[in-house]
Amino acid sequence: MAPIDNRRRIVLFLRQRGEASLGELGQGLGLSHVTLRRHLGSLMRAGIVSAPEKRRHGGPGRPEQAYSLTEQADELLPENYQDLARSMLPALETRQGTEWVRRLLREAGGAAAADFGLTVDRGHSDLVPQVLTGLETRGYLPSAGIWSGRRCLTFAHCPYLGAARTSPVVCAFDQALLEKLLGEPVVLFRRIAEHDQQCVFLLGA
């Protein structure tokens, strides 16, 4: 088993137990103390596992050293936002209507632009590179170019693909995000959710 798999197993074991000694980890995971110490050292350096603390075990002998997780461990644990979004969005559309959901997503997209922390004004030559960097860190795999004579941004990946295929209104979030970031109208021309190779956003009126 690869080292990264063993580190993930350690994290999951500690999440289930709350804390565990070297012996408990070894017994529960079937790993030697040498292997565990190596992986625990790596996880501690990464800030995922805290330094061991003494734990009394109620009998004679030296206190055990117990390991536990830090808040950073949450980044390694499984997440399933896709199923949540796929379930909630159709329900919201049924209850409130598609246009209500669209407005809500546009508000959220516009608000999300503040998290990019852009350091230049709209129209500055460095604006698009900063926007692309922010989109890259969020998993969009973006690029800037020209499409049929118009400036465009393209996404090679949709981070919410499952949700977007269930509820196409999801794309309103990205459109509003780009409009807020760039300060100009954005038209969604092609969508990965409709089995196009890329999402294509045409810029300008």
Q: Rounded to a whole number, what is the largest CA-CA distance in the chain?
A: 80
With a pLDDT cut of 90, the percent of the chain lying above it is: 64
The CATH number of the domain covering residues in 3-76: 1.10.10.10
Given a contact cutoff of 8 angstroms between Cβ atoms, the answer to whether 133 and 146 are in contact is no
Distance CA(2)–CA(7), nearest Å, equals 9
pTM above 0.85, yes or no: no
Q: Nearest 10 degrees: CA dihedral of 68, 69, 71, 73? A: 180
The CATH number of the domain covering residues in 81-203: 3.30.1380.20
The residues, any chain, with a CB within 8 Å of residue 108's CB and separated by 6 or more, are 173, 176
Domain ranges of the chain: 3-76, 81-203
The pLDDT score that the predictor gives to residue 64 is 81
Distance CA(6)–CA(8), nearest Å, equals 5
Which token pair is 28? 């529960």
Indicate whether 1 pLDDT > 50: no
| Mean pLDDT computed over 91-111 | 95
The pLDDT score that the predictor gives to residue 97 is 96
pLDDT tens profile 25-83? 999 999 999 999 999 999 999 889 999 888 765 555 567 889 999 888 877 676 778 88
Nearest to 70 by CA among 95, 51, 86, 93: 51
| Mean pLDDT computed over 180-184 | 93
